Amino acid sequence: MIWNIILILSLSSCTKSDPSNPWSFSLGMEPIVFDPEVENPINTETGKRMDSSEDCASCHKTIFDNWKLSKHREAFTNSLYKNSHAQEPLTWCVNCHAPLIEPGRDVDNPDERYLSSEGINCQVCHVRGKKIIASHLPPIQKERSALFHAYRIEPELSKSEFCASCHQFNFPKIKKNSEDSTITYSHLPMQNTYEEFRSTEMSKMGTCSDCHLLKDTVYSHSFPGGHDREKLSESLHIQIERVGRRTILTHVIASGIAHSFPTGDLFRTLRVTVKNSKKRTIEELALKKIYRDAIQTFREDGNTPSRVILGDNRIPPPDSGYVSQNSFPVGISEDDTELEFELYMDYLNPSSRILSDLPYEETVLPIKIIKLKVPEFDGLSG
Task: Give how far Cα 46 sits from Cα of 43, 55, 295, Å.
Answer: 6, 12, 59
* C-beta atoms surrounding 303 within 10 Å: 14
pLDDT at 2 over 60: no
Task: Give how far Cα 225 sits from Cα of 71, 123, 240, 345, Å.
Answer: 9, 22, 26, 12
Buried b / exposed e along 273-301 (16+ C-beta atoms within 10 A):
ebbbeeeeebbebebbbebeebeeeebee
CA distance 23 to 340: 48
CA distance 85 to 107: 15
Predicted confidence band at 130 (pLDDT cuts at 50, 70, 90)? Answer: very high
Predicted confidence band at 355 (pLDDT cuts at 50, 70, 90)? Answer: confident
Domain boundaries, the chain: 2-212, 229-373
* C-beta atoms surrounding 75 within 10 Å: 20
**Percent of the chain scoring above 70 in pLDDT:** 87
pLDDT in tens, 30-55: 999 999 999 999 998 889 999 999 99
- Neighbouring residues of 195: CB distance < 8 A, sequence distance ≥ 6: 3, 4, 7, 168, 189
Predicted confidence band at 177 (pLDDT cuts at 50, 70, 90)? Answer: low
CA distance 159 to 218: 21
Write down the CATH superfamily of domain 229-373: Immunoglobulins (2.60.40.10)
Based on the number of CB atoms within 10 Å of its own CB, is 68 exposed (0-12), middle (13-18) or buried (19 or more)?
middle
**Percent of the chain scoring above 90 in pLDDT:** 74
pTM, to two decimals: 0.89
Task: Give how far Cα 226 sits from Cα of 16, 140, 308, Å.
Answer: 33, 35, 24
> For the chain, what is the radius of gyration of the CA atoms?
23
pLDDT reported for residue 349: 86
Predicted confidence band at 293 (pLDDT cuts at 50, 70, 90)? Answer: confident
pLDDT reported for residue 16: 42
